[in-house]
């Protein structure tokens, strides 16, 4: 059975603070977040931008988080104010939030993995067993 894998990376700049954290991360501060999304599928799909089934997923759909916060993304926002309250603003939870929101906009059968980096030497990954 054929399988395609699509990979995209992008950055966005945002501020956050980790609620009740005893240390510097408990204060408001910012990062240039690096996001890596892998989308895998056994079939190709159309998208809202292209009516032909020629892609795993549209890069524009996968990269929604890099849009400015005023346009529905996460760039140049305060994550504590932008993300729903059930997601804390740790790298792990930011990865899960991007995964959950991206998954809703994709056709069935696409497997996702989302990795988020706050610093050059740290990454958090999230994927579901679906």
Q: How far is CA 74 from the centre of its chain?
A: 9
pTM value is 0.95
Q: Which of the following is catalytic: 31, 118, 125, 127?
A: 118
Q: Which residue has the higher pLDDT, 130 or 47?
A: 47
Rounded Cα distance between 63 and 17, Å, is 23
- CATH superfamily, domain at 4-121: 6-pyruvoyl tetrahydropterin synthase/QueD (3.30.479.10)
Q: Is 79 left (phi over 0), alpha (psi -120 to 50) or beta?
A: alpha
Task: Indicate if 76 belongs to the active site.
Answer: yes
**pLDDT, tens only, 19-71:** 999 999 999 999 999 999 999 999 999 998 999 999 999 999 999 999 999 99
Q: Which of the following is catalytic: 45, 76, 92, 108?
A: 76
pLDDT at 129: 80
Tokens 């056994």 found at? 42
Domain range list for the chain? 4-121
Predicted confidence band of residue 130 (pLDDT cuts 50, 70, 90):
low
**pLDDT, tens only, 80-128:** 999 999 999 999 999 999 999 999 999 999 999 999 999 999 999 999 8
Q: Which of the following is catalytic: 25, 92, 125, 127?
A: 25
Q: How far is CA 121 from the centre of its chain?
A: 18
């Amino acid at each position: 059975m054929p399988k395609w894998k699509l990979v995209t990376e992008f950055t966005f700049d945002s501020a956050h603070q980790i609620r009740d954290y005893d240390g510097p991360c408990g204060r408001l501060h910012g990062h240039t977040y690096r996001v890596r999304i892998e989308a895998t599928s056994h079939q190709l799909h159309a998208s809202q931008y292209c009516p032909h089934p020629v892609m795993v997923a549209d890069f524009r759909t996968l990269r929604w988080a890099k849009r400015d916060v005023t346009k529905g993304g996460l760039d140049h926002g305060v994550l504590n104010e932008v993300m729903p309250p059930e997601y804390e603003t740790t790298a792990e939870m930011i990865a899960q939030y991007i995964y959950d929101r991206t998954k809703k906009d994709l056709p069935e059968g696409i497997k996702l993995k989302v990795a988020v980096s706050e610093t050059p030497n740290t990454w958090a990954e999230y994927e579901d067993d679906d």
